[in-house]
Chains A and B, each alone.
Chain A
């Protein structure tokens, strides 16, 4: 973000502007972009070539990725800063019609490319240390190859200019991430997670394919930047539903989210950071590109549909996150919540656009794009932190952890900062985008739209509840795993991870704090993105500048200044320290055991567990969780049984009431087909062929 500031500063002076223009005219951003692509490709090649020597392979591959990501950051920042709306890079027309490679970098693509590159930079630094625990056990070269290819596929998803190329990149992204999910394939659960993922993602892709076919049948073009005027209104409605389902599956919105909590945790942690941090955002990009900008917002109900999905995802995601005890799965559920918040912003933007309220539309778009960036930063850092915990202790189960803050002090501080960011607490970045979302909800309530007003105020309630539950989830995650006494041998034997891993995580956390303190830098960038992409400028609503307060609306007084609040915090703490020193003298501290009610039997097992921590909420929301409890006792004595088995569980309502019936139906239909159509008799098959030929002949005759 600091870099952006520098460039925007350059831009403000005329000299700098001409310099940038000159750079651009000489093919600047394009060259930088190709350099970064070539570096990624080289990283992929080298990781396969150096497979024999895992150490060198890891260093070379990740080093090239770091370089490539720096070029990616430069490309996207310059591309946002220059006056031109988009940069067309390379059109490769193959002999096959419509199969061409179009790369088009507009400001929206550049924004997502920037999120990706920043994350890749940190994740690659982290991976140098993290991957070392696979040395000698697994083929690291393949991991690095898949990792770089996965990054490349995401870059092409974000920059492709026609639907066919987009589709190819999209499919490559799905397949490569599938291979990464099942990288540790000896674990049964990973293979199952991968299977569920590949089925769900292909269902989503199928919807997209149908939508593209409708697009082509009316416009005879796959150009994503072309006009959709030829498509009639009813077809646009159908296309919207298809896009929403297709992209929604990738984003992991409820109810098509079931793959996400299994697939994201199964991959190696640095890949999980990429999947949760940026892969699910490609769906947001897709919705903006294909629906918002290509189709154009036709009806208010489009926005309402997105908003409702957002509300449901935010609430369900965080509720399930709160009762989870696997660190990485908790983070994955929290991604569903954050996608929900992004969708709430998108929904408001669509509603406002349909009603011609461009101020609210711009604000809501800025809120959801800002949350995309923020989620990339803090979810990336949290997944890396989860990876560090796994690296040091060998477990992801909170019930086996505890007391890590004393064994891994640096990781603990970084993780805590990530947790504060995601809990939307000042002065970290999560608060800024949540505040913008609240502001866009606030300004979306206008007299006369009863239903939309009710929906909007419900979104406010959901956002508030999701915020409180998210904070509680991360208090639980941090409090149970990092504080208290270690609950297992593994946790008590944990040691701090290599410095390079903390550097990777530290950059992300620093960015979280920097963006939180100086949000204007990002908002100025977003303003350029939005003027380029939606033709809406949000700057008139933003008052003052950089360090001081800013108000997003023309209403005076709606101002937030995280930097000032951070200053107040520091001042109060300092004053408290000084005053107490004056009144009470030097701190005189005695260390004794925790109060144990005199029983002297306090140990790790008497602490609160992760399951116990979430129990009150589980009972309060039992309509959602449907908790079950089984107590089995052995022995004759009622009050002194020999052993007690206590099982608690929650009912997976989506799997049980939505997916199970569908899969049962599909299975029974295929079963019937197997016995009635696929009989095994050659005569029957000959008749099928004959009938097919006849039908085709008739069809040909008529058509």
Chain B
């Protein structure tokens, strides 16, 4: 019973916080460009508006196109269960395997790419084929990074990894964690369609990847697609935060327990998410979008960094 309650808290926090991350990123970008920018809560208004609108569907589209938004949101929400946002009282109760995590996210991507091909639109095919390249290139570094931190913690469960790092002091001072952090930052940028890999705010066929895939969507379907993309983004940010700056640590530090522990860790988590969002916004401001065929270089860099992290810890010794 407790599990279900915690899972529900987890889901609600992630769904409610996800659009806020987009808001923060947009706001920071606007401020650096000396604009006022849209309000922080703009995406909530957009989603609410979209839900009330009617849906325009291509006459070529099949049931895949209509089912994809729901499957995408299911995959994103299910993935959010793997990255704890608050402290869990019972340490053994939470099993979030990282390979399963990757596979759950793959389900959403699978259907999004299929839906893009479903409408016979050239844009959809283009986005889908580019996404295929990016995912194939970035997946190895993701798995190697996760394996490295998992091997240190001797578990493939993200929760166990987080628990382990909580006990070792400040992990970011250790070289293996620094390399992993750098790799994971690059991976997050690629996985969440951010500059320099993709530009979420453009509709120019030369550059768009994610936007091209969801170009045909409208109304509530679009709302679901946008929401699931932002949940994906928050899930990846949470993954980064959990592994490298676990909020569990704070509880251990002050010896909190029970309700206070949950509240404090949730608060710490939210602050960390805001900081990472600002970091992503700063990266977006300071880089330009890469040419499509320069993305393999970025992916190679991410892979080398993650691989070096592994070598550093397991071959050269700790």
User: Which residues of chain B from 129 to 185 have a CB within 8 Å of any chain A CB?
Assistant: 129-130, 132-133, 135-137, 139-144, 147, 150-151, 154-157, 159-160
Instruction: Tell which of A457, A467, A557, A565 touches B310, judged by Cβ atoms closer than 8 Å.
Output: A457
Q: Which residues of B contact A479 (CB under 8 A)?
A: 113-114, 116-118, 128
Which 10 A-B residue pairings sit nearest by Cβ, starting from the closest? A608-B125, A479-B117, A472-B132, A461-B140, A588-B54, A464-B143, A559-B95, A616-B133, A557-B157, A484-B120
**Cβ-neighbour of A616 out of B53, B122, B132, B155 (below 8 A):** B132
Segment 558-611 of A: residues with Cβ below 8 Å from B: 558-561, 565, 568-570, 572-573, 576-577, 580, 583-585, 587-595, 602, 604, 606-608
**B97–A464 CB distance below 8 A:** no
User: In whole angstroms, what is the CA distance A475 to B63 when docked?
Assistant: 16
Q: Are B117 and A558 in contact (CB under 8 A)?
A: no
Q: How far is the CA of A580 from the CA of B150 in the complex (A)?
A: 38
A351 within 8 A of B: no
Kindly state whether residue A389 has any CB partner on chain B within 8 Å: no
Q: Are A425 and B106 in contact (CB under 8 A)?
A: yes
- B114 and A478: CB pair below 8 A? yes
Asked if A175 is at the interface of the complex by the 8 Å CB criterion, the answer is no
Q: Does B224 contact A (CB under 8 A)?
A: yes
Is the beta-carbon distance between A439 and B156 smaller than 8 angstroms? yes
Contact (Cβ within 8 A) A573 B157: no
Contact call A453/B122, Cβ cutoff below 8 A: no
Determine whether the beta carbon of A616 is less than 8 Å from that of B74. Answer: no
B307 touches A573 (CB 8 A): no
B315→A450 contact, CB < 8 A: yes
Residue pair A445, B314 in contact (C-beta under 8 Å): yes
A475, A556, A559, A613: the one contacting B110 at CB < 8 Å is A475
A522 contacts chain B at the CB level, 8 A cutoff:
no
Which residue on chain A has the smallest CB distance to residue B215? A595
Q: Is the CB of A484 within 8 A of B70?
A: no
In the bound complex, residues from chain B placing their C-beta under 8 Å from that of A118 are none
With A442-B151, A615-B129, A619-B293 known as contacts, the answer to whether A464 contacts B139 (CB < 8 A) is yes
Which range contains the number of A residues in contact with the other chain?
Answer: 35 or more
B107 on interface, CB distance cutoff 8 Å:
yes
> What chain B residues lie within 8 Å of A484 (beta carbons)?
60, 117-120
A-B contact pairs, 8 of them (CB 8 A): A457-B307, A457-B314, A479-B118, A590-B56, A593-B60, A608-B126, A612-B129, A613-B132
In the complex, chain A residues whose CB is within 8 Å of the CB of B104: 426, 565
* A residues in contact with B94, CB < 8 Å: 557
Bound form: Cα–Cα A620–B300 in Å = 11
B229-263 vs A: 1/0 string, CB under 8 Å?
Answer: 00000000000000000000000000000000000
A476 to B48, CA, bound (A): 34
A434, chain B: closest CB distance, angstroms: 8
Q: Are A568 and B139 in contact (CB-based, < 8 A)?
A: no
Residues of A within 8 A of B133 (CB): 616-617, 620
Known contacts A572-B74, A587-B220, A616-B130; A483/B118 CB under 8 A: yes
- CA of A442 to CA of B154 in the docked complex: distance in angstroms? 9
CB-CB under 8 A from A67, the residues of chain B are: none
Q: Which of B16-24, B34-42, B75-83 contacts A (4 or more CB under 8 A)?
A: B75-83
Quick check: A584 and B220 within 8 Å, CB to CB? yes
CA A577 to CA B133, docked complex, whole Å? 32
Contact of A406 among B56, B62, B139, B143 (CB under 8 A): B62
Interchain pairs with CB closer than 8 A, number: 264
Instruction: Determine how close the nearest CB of chain A comes to the CB of B84; give it in whole angstroms.
Output: 12
Report if B264 contacts A (CB, 8 A): no
Candidates A423, A467, A559; contact of B139 at CB < 8 Å? A467
A residues whose Cβ falls under 8 Å from a Cβ of B:
322, 402-403, 405-406, 420, 423-426, 431, 434-435, 438-439, 442, 445, 447, 450, 453-454, 457, 460-465, 467-469, 471-472, 475-476, 478-480, 483-485, 549, 551, 555-561, 565, 568-570, 572-573, 576-577, 580, 583-585, 587-595, 602, 604, 606-608, 612-617, 619-620
B142-A464 in contact (CB<8A)? yes
Kindly list chain A residues whose C-beta atoms are within 8 Å of the C-beta of B97: 435, 558-560
7 more A-B residue pairs beyond the given contacts A475-B117, A565-B100, with a C-beta to C-beta distance below 8 A: A431-B100, A475-B113, A476-B129, A573-B71, A573-B74, A593-B59, A604-B120
CB within 8 Å for A583 and B60 given contacts A480-B117, A483-B114, A616-B133 = no
Instruction: State whether B95 touches A483 (Cβ < 8 A).
Output: no
Q: B52 contacts the other chain (Cβ, under 8 Å)?
A: yes
Which residues of chain B are near A475, meaning CB under 8 Å?
110, 113-114, 117, 128, 132
- Cα A475 to Cα B109 with chains together (Å): 10
In the assembled complex, B279 has its CB within 8 A of some CB on chain A: no
A406-B62, A479-B113, A617-B132 as given contacts; A590 in contact with B55, CB under 8 Å = yes
Which residues of the other chain, A, contact B141 by a CB distance below 8 angstroms? 461
User: Taking the complex as formed, is B278 at the interface, i.e. its CB lies under 8 A from any CB of chain A?
Assistant: no
Closest to B156 in A: A558
- Separation of A133 and B117 alpha carbons in the complex (Å): 31
Query: What residue in chain A is nearest B306 (Cβ atoms)?
Result: A461
